[in-house]
Amino acid sequence: MSLKRRTILQMIPATAALSVVSGQSMAASHHVVVVGGGFAGATVAKYLRMWSNGGIDVTLVDKNSRHVSCIMSNLVLNGQLQLGDLSFDYSTLQDKYGVRIVQGGVRRIAAGMVELESGDLHECDYVVVATGISFDDIPGLDSRKIPHAWIAGEQTNLLRDQIREDMPRDNGTFVMTIPRAPYRCPPGPYERACLLADILRRRGDGHRVVVLDANDRIQAERTTFERAFYGLYRDIIDYRASVSVASVNSDERIVTTVAGENVHGDVVNVIPRHGAPGLLVESGLTGGGRWAPVNPTTYESSLIPGVYVVGDSQATAQPKSGHMANSQAKVCADAIIRAAAGLSTQNRERLANITTNSACFSPITATEASWLTAVFRLNTETRAMELVPESLGEAHDWNSENYSAMFDWSENLFADTFR
């Protein structure tokens, strides 16, 4: 590359920043409202601004002033991290990329319109919905007493504190339940079971971690987790497949299974089944299903044109995770920029190159981790995202090298999303 070209390239961000600051970007009439500032929403907002050189106005609405990452949050349970390490405000999105940040709940979504709970109306050309998951009700379940800790934040600290305070020194029982797939972060619950076993075997003797899995088998990294459950932690982890929760006694900490068995724990962690949040259901984005159907070449809703759904709420069969949400968000941002430019999102060259990928690390002990990875590509005939089979892989072993790489991975993913 010539020096001259480098110089020109280096000037581009400065020019873009200027046009944002001066508010004189060339196509300011294109306005996108992004609802939800997690991995999907923050990435869409950032990449829309970055790739349009500030040419598209972006407003990010979230009910909270910061996002707390679920990724790495199992390490809050064993005290290695604190929530502050995993909390990201939107100041960089605002200051560096020129995203307008609005804090508030959203009451209603329609094509070209987002209505806040405050009554404020935000009109726009495109709406992006990235509000993650909500949980099914389970009779008797009170998550203030029996935490799910599957949306990170206070729930994570509640579970951490219960583990610290309510598990006895010896012979304690920790019960956790895994919902029917698809749920957020396929390896996550198994990783949590391993970390709990690790915490408890250090605390004393005779502890048990009872894992009630609504699925008929381990959902991710099966080789790794089977080795951990039936090897390293064989004396602690009691894994039971195909066991669903019927009800919970939140005061007595008892889970009653569909088969009628009562399972009592000193600490109980119930993760209910997931679905798209009520906002999407009420706005007509789920069409009676559990998730919002979208076109995976754009993430535009199959039901409401002009509204896009990215991340865990959407119905493509890709795994639900923060890494995947970031990955999909870029496809969505590219599609919206093209749509704003009046250009096709469906030309052959673009479709042939739509990919997403997943990579994640799972701590198996407090010093060792495994990993899982996969690439997905568009099947141009069925128009569905499909796994590239040979790309699917999991670590041959859990070790400290992977554990260290886990921090590099999360650091880069967090930065690519929020910074």
Partner 1 sequence: MTQSKRRLSGIAILLSLPFAASPALAEDETVNRLLASQCAQCHGTNGYARGDFEDIAGEEAGDLFEDLSDMKGEDRPENIMDHQALGYSDEQIRRIARYYASLPEDDPERQAGSEREGEVEIERAGEHEYEREYEREYEREDEHEDEREREEHDDDERDEDDD
9 binds partner 1 (CB under 8 A): yes
> Rounded to an integer, what distance in angstroms lies between the CA atom of residue 287 and that of residue 265?
38
Query: Which 17-56 positions form the footprint of partner 1 (CB under 8 A)?
Result: 26-27, 29-30, 47, 50-53, 55-56
Work out how close the CB of 27 gets to partner 1 at its nearest, in angstroms, rounded to a whole number. 4
Neighbours of 77 (CB within 10 A): 23
Locate 175 and state its tokens. Answer: 């019960």
CB 341 within 8 A of CB 56: no
317 binds partner 1 (CB under 8 A): no
Q: Is 383 left (phi over 0), alpha (psi -120 to 50) or beta?
A: left
Nearer to partner 1, 39 or 135 (CB): 39
Nearer to partner 1, 237 or 292 (CB): 237
CB 291 within 8 A of CB 313: yes
Nearer to partner 1, 143 or 365 (CB): 365
Stretch of residues binding partner 1 (CB under 8 A), selected from 112-120, 146-154, 186-194, 359-367: 359-367
6 binds partner 1 (CB under 8 A): yes
Q: Of the candidates 235, 251, 252, 282, which one interacts with partner 1 according to CB under 8 A? A: 235
DSSP string, 22-54: HT--TTTT-EEEEE--SHHHHHHHHHHHHHTTT
Query: Which 87-106 positions form the footprint of partner 1 (CB under 8 A)?
Result: 88-89, 91-92, 95-96
> Rounded to an integer, what distance in angstroms lies between the CA atom of residue 35 and that of residue 232?
43
Nearer to partner 1, 34 or 336 (CB): 336
CA distances from 277 to 134, 153, 193 (A): 5, 18, 26
The HSE-up count of residue 315 (CA atoms within 13 Å, CB side) is: 17
Query: Which 257-296 positions form the footprint of partner 1 (CB under 8 A)?
Result: none
Neighbours of 103 (CB within 10 A): 14
Q: Of the candidates 227, 238, 254, 306, which one interacts with partner 1 according to CB under 8 A? A: 238
Work out how close the CB of 133 gets to partner 1 at its nearest, in angstroms, rounded to a whole number. 20
Nearer to partner 1, 218 or 285 (CB): 218
Query: Which 152-211 positions form the footprint of partner 1 (CB under 8 A)?
Result: 201-202
415 binds partner 1 (CB under 8 A): yes
411 binds partner 1 (CB under 8 A): yes
Stretch of residues binding partner 1 (CB under 8 A), selected from 104-112, 171-179, 305-313, 336-344: 336-344
> Rounded to an integer, what distance in angstroms lies between the CA atom of residue 357 and that of residue 330?
11
Amino acid residing at 345:
T
H-assigned helices in 52-135: 74-77, 91-95
Q: Of the candidates 81, 116, 141, 152, which one interacts with partner 1 according to CB under 8 A? A: 81
The HSE-up count of residue 30 (CA atoms within 13 Å, CB side) is: 19
Locate 51 and state its tokens. Answer: 């790739």
Q: Of the candidates 2, 22, 353, 382, which one interacts with partner 1 according to CB under 8 A? A: 353
CA distances from 128 to 124, 165, 288 (A): 10, 42, 20
**Angle, in degrees to the nearest 10, between helices 39-51 and 400-418:** 60
Closest CA relative to residue 197, chosen from 86, 77, 83, 80: 77
Stretch of residues binding partner 1 (CB under 8 A), selected from 11-19, 171-179, 184-192, 263-271: 11-19
Work out how close the CB of 307 gets to partner 1 at its nearest, in angstroms, rounded to a whole number. 19
Q: Of the candidates 327, 363, 369, 385, which one interacts with partner 1 according to CB under 8 A? A: 327
Work out how close the CB of 305 gets to partner 1 at its nearest, in angstroms, rounded to a whole number. 16
# of chain residues touching partner 1 (CB under 8 A): 91
Work out how close the CB of 130 gets to partner 1 at its nearest, in angstroms, rounded to a whole number. 16
Nearer to partner 1, 283 or 326 (CB): 326
Work out how close the CB of 284 gets to partner 1 at its nearest, in angstroms, rounded to a whole number. 26
Neighbours of 154 (CB within 10 A): 13
